[in-house]
Structure 1
Amino acid sequence: MEKTDDYLPGVKCVVSSCYYNMQGNYCTAEKIEIQSPKAQDIQETDCATFIKF
């Protein structure tokens, strides 16, 4: 997945250890994928786009 020079509007990311994180809590991935398909609440979801910085 490509890293862009701009951020995804409407997406807030507070994971400072992610490669796609931009100062100000923004995400610079060209798109994001949220997992798990069978999630029933917020604790069962995560960002599959995450790459450790």
Structure 2
Amino acid sequence: MEGKVEKMNQPNPGIKCVVNTCHYYSSGDHCTASKIEVQPRNANSNDETDCATFTMK
């Protein structure tokens, strides 16, 4: 992912995240990242995708 993602003071609407070990996780299963990136290109199923924005707390 290009550049550092900004951590917002409020949840990013429309993004649900249950990964409570992520730097951008907010209680209530919200994501406070200003943007997310899901990879890889040409995935064929949800099992092949991951959140490239994930950063460990």
Please tell me the TM-score bracket, short chain as reference: over 0.9
Q: Normalising by structure 1, what TM-score?
A: 0.96
Match of 2:18 in 1: 14
Which segments of structure 1 move beyond 6 Å, counting only runs of 4 or more? none
Kindly tell me the number of residue pairs found equivalent between the two proteins.
53
Q: Which runs of 5+ in 1 are unaligned?
A: none
Q: Which runs of 5+ in 2 are unaligned?
A: none
Q: Normalising by structure 2, what TM-score?
A: 0.89
Aligned Cα root-mean-square deviation (Å) = 0.5
Aligned counterpart in structure 2 of residue 39 of structure 1, from 36, 40, 43: 43
Instruction: State the identity %.
Output: 49
